[in-house]
Amino acid sequence: MEVGLEDRHCILVTKYGNAYSYGSGVAGKLGHGNELDQPNPKKIIAFEGEDSVISSVACGRDHSILLDTRGRAFGCGWGEYGRLGLGEDIGTCLTPTLITIGNSNNASMLTYSKTFSGKNFCLAACAAGREHSLVLDNSGTIFAFGAGMFGQLGLFDQNGEPLSCAVFPTAVDRSNFGNEPIVQIACGEIHSTALSESGVLYTFGFQVTLGRGDKNNNENSILPVNGLPLGGILQVSCNGFVTVVRTVENFVYLWGDLGHHEGIPSLNKPYRLKFGNDNGGDFFLASDIAASDHFIVMTDLMGNVFTYDEHGNFNFVLSLSKDRVSMISCGTFFWVALLEEN
């Protein structure tokens, strides 16, 4: 299953590729052809009769991005600044609509418009922030669209200034990532992350979210995060102004504006989580992570679920004797856990 969460809505994808959404229906972001709120999961029927099913979803504040098993991208919800990739004149989009590259007179399917390294162009992942979106193709190239005034798109003009917006998907120059393929993407509210094939994590966007400390305050750049194990990043999650990562050794690092407290002198650079304070305690080992704007959720190696809040407190919240947590995901104010039945 796949889960997409944000401020006030959620999209669930079953193992059979059916998408269900619930929560706030503002701007049609639930994909049901209207703006009605849904208190319970409701199936998105726009894909019925298609020769493909939904494989991945991402939720922004007032928009949603969905990928199908043919590698196509669809968007619904509020389209201001081009966050749906459907063009600058899009207001609300009440049903999932195919995203294309080009202008209205010469548009081609996003999934089949180009080739890279001899491979058919096909999307493999998606991510969404407050007003921007990223999609990743199967060759490791990022395409960005939506608002970009803080550099969160990774798109810059000839003077090195961030593009204010991109209304259609635009490729992010792979030279920014050492010409390496990207294997994982994530979006916070106004920042983005990209994990390279060799395990190097790059950030771009609003300064406080980038994990670069005080010495490098250049928002207009895509740079790797210092202070992380080289080539050792396994999982990345972003939400609001927070980024959290899990390493191959299952250590957890976080940075951003989660809330300062005595135990964390600064969150402008990666901080490795541990039980207790800096003078004692053990480092937390996680099997899964998810970031909220105000807390993070983690499962330990035994499958127990913990939260870590803005005051620096660990909270034990869930222990399962029969079922195991297979996946966790966070919205701004809530989280969801998927269980594996024994």
- The answer on pLDDT for 310 being more than 70 is yes
In whole angstroms, what is the distance from residue 320 CA to residue 341 CA?
11
CA–CA distances in Å: residue 331 to residues 78, 103, 212, 292: 18, 33, 25, 6
What confidence score (pLDDT) does residue 208 get? 72
- The answer on pLDDT for 150 being more than 70 is yes
- The answer on pLDDT for 58 being more than 90 is yes
What confidence score (pLDDT) does residue 59 get? 94
What confidence score (pLDDT) does residue 27 get? 95
Q: Where are the domains of the chain?
A: 1-172
Instruction: Name, of 93-107, 172-186, 286-300, the range with top average pLDDT.
Output: 172-186
Q: For the beta carbon of residue 190, count every other beta carbon within 10 angstroms.
A: 22
CB 127 within 8 A of CB 192: yes
Choosing among 2.130.10.30, 3.90.45.10, 3.30.70.20, 3.40.50.720, the CATH entry for 1-172 is 2.130.10.30
- Bridge partners, 109 (sequence order): 100
Residue 14 makes CB contacts below 8 A (sequence gap 6+) with 1, 20
Least confident segment among 119-128, 195-204, 313-322: 119-128
Mean pLDDT of 52-76: 93
